[in-house]
Structure 1
Amino acid sequence: MSYEISAQILYKTPFDPTALMYHGYASYFLAISENDTEQAQFLFNEAINSLRLAILQSSEKVVPQLEFMLGKAYFYKDVLSSSNYYSDLAVKYLLLAKSKGYTAVELPEILGLSYSALGMTNESISAFTEALNIRETDILLLSIAEQYMASNQYSAAEQYLYRISKNCKDEKIILKTHYLLGKIYINKENYTEAENELLKVIEKNENFADAYYELGVIYEKQGDIAKARAEWRKSLRIEYNHIEAQKKLADYKQ
């Protein structure tokens, strides 16, 4: 209803700040509930255009909230596009809102995810840590663990993954946790523990190609190339274009 009404008002008065704000909000909420990707992108574009114009026309009191919504719109547009072309704009407007004192429970988490998409690991860790101080969730713990791994801080990552393993009920997160712990133990040359974690993954999901690949890495490091090759071939049977497995098999081609 707000979408149509605000559109009618804007047709007559294109720069009405209140109508621009409501149209931006309505377009955003329609976009995140839209199943059709093309239509969702269209609605996000409408939200972004309306919110940008609203920022120019609105009072200083309202601007931080609009900047926050604009940052969220860019973030979700980026998620849909899978290109990271909009992550920098998400960061820009979220930081502008934050710098003006605007607070929202999800702001640091979205900021952390946007930093992650840009490969800004330290900034992402900082934002996720702030988010954890507001509310602790398994997906947040996993996200910060992945960022610590990206910066080769394996001990820190292990601590967050251990916190997930104690109480998590989400099967996908549990699988990812075991997989990442397996990679950490490989890095620490604790191959028995690494193998145990990866076998837990395969026990729950026999089509987890990366788990077979990492098992192959363990056996390679232990000098059992025949066993390693068997695991890499399993990866390729599940994911025929698994680049790492292809490379390993090519390296040990007989």
Structure 2
Amino acid sequence: YKKYSESLSDYLVVLEKKSDIPELLYAIAQCYYNLENADTAEEYLLKAETLANDIFIQEQIRLLLADIYLQKGKSEKFFNIIDKIKTSNPESAEAYYREGLYYSMQGDIIRARAAWRKALNFDPMHKEARQKLANR
């Protein structure tokens, strides 16, 4: 936790001077998330999402938002974010992997496995999806 706290302090100093950089907001959100402050992480991610023009950073922001919504059990917000990811990147293995996690948590193993197989279609080396399919 110490490294995240130190990084967060440094990022917040930079934020005072440059508040419109989505990558910085994303880095701050990651620190808060890893420090188990999902609510504050979500705030920074939502700000970052509105500023991000780069498709890659948008996807990273949205994936972390999806993780937060998945943990909080906010199904509607989770699927809204997953749909945004799939719209901008229909071949996002990470989006399908997380969708599989959602269905697994709901006890719907058939849909979970289908989502994980789809993740592997787009990224045959996706380690986590391979593990999930091997364990079921």
Per the TM superposition, whether the score is higher than 0.5 is yes
Task: State yes or no: 1:160 paired with 2:33.
Answer: no
Partner of 1:78: none
Which structure's relative contact order is higher, taking Cα pairs within 8 Å and 6+ residues apart?
Answer: 2
| Contact 1:125-1:147 within 8 A present in 2 as well | yes
Deviations 1:132-180 (A, max 9, x none): 0111211100111112222222111101011122343232222222221
Please report the RMSD computed on the Cα atoms of aligned residues, expressed in angstroms.
1.5
Gaps of 5+ in 2: none
The equivalent of 1:125 in structure 2 is 8
Distance 2:125 2:35 in 1: 27
- Aligned amino acid, residue 172 of structure 1: F
Aligned partners of 2:35, 2:126: CA distance in 1, in Å? 24
1:210-251 superposed Cα distances (whole Å, 9 cap, x missing partner): 111000011111121101101101111222221111111112
- Residues paired across the two proteins, number: 134
Deviations 1:194-214 (A, max 9, x none): 122012101110221111100
Q: Note if 1:201 corresponds to 2:85.
A: yes
Of 104, 108, 121, the residue aligned with 1:224 is 108
- State the AA in 2 paired with 1:140: L
| Alpha-carbon distance between aligned partners in 1 of 2:62 and 2:123, rounded to the nearest angstrom | 20
| Percent identity (aligned) | 34
Secondary structure of 1:156 counterpart:
helix
Q: How does 1:53-72 map to 2 (within 5 A)?
A: none
Give the Cα–Cα distance (whole angstroms) in 1 for the partners of residues 7 and 123 of structure 2. Answer: 30
Gapped runs of 5+ residues in structure 1?
1-118
**Matches of 2:122 and 2:35, distance apart in 1:** 29
Larger Cα-atom Rg: 1
1:149 lines up with 2:33 in the alignment: yes
CA contact (8 A) 2:22 2:49 kept: no
Residues 5-44 of structure 1: matches in 2 within 5 Å?
A: none
- C-alpha contact (below 8 Å) 1:121/1:151 kept by paired residues: yes
Partner Cα distance (2:24, 2:37) in 1: 17
Corresponding residue of 1:191: 75
What's the secondary structure of 1:240's corresponding residue? coil
Question: Structure 1: how far apart are the matches of 2:127 and 2:55?
Answer: 26
Partners of 2:89 and 2:70 in 1: CA distance: 20
- TM-score, scaled to structure 2: 0.90
Q: Provide the rounded CA distance (Å) in 2 between the counterparts of 1:166 and 1:245.
A: 30
Contact 2:30–2:41 (CA<8 Å) still a contact in 1?
Answer: yes
SS of match in other structure, 1:120: helix
1:249, 1:168 → 2: CA distance? 34
Could you tell me which amino acid in structure 2 is paired with residue 215 of structure 1?
Answer: E
Q: Residue type matched to 1:248 in 2?
A: K
Please name the residue that 2:95 is paired with. 211
Q: Which amino acid aligns with 2:34?
A: A
Q: Structure 2: how far apart are the matches of 1:218 and 1:120?
A: 30
Q: Give the 3-state SS of the residue equivalent to 2:124 in structure 1.
A: coil
CA–CA distance in structure 2, aligned partners of residues 145 and 171 of structure 1: 18
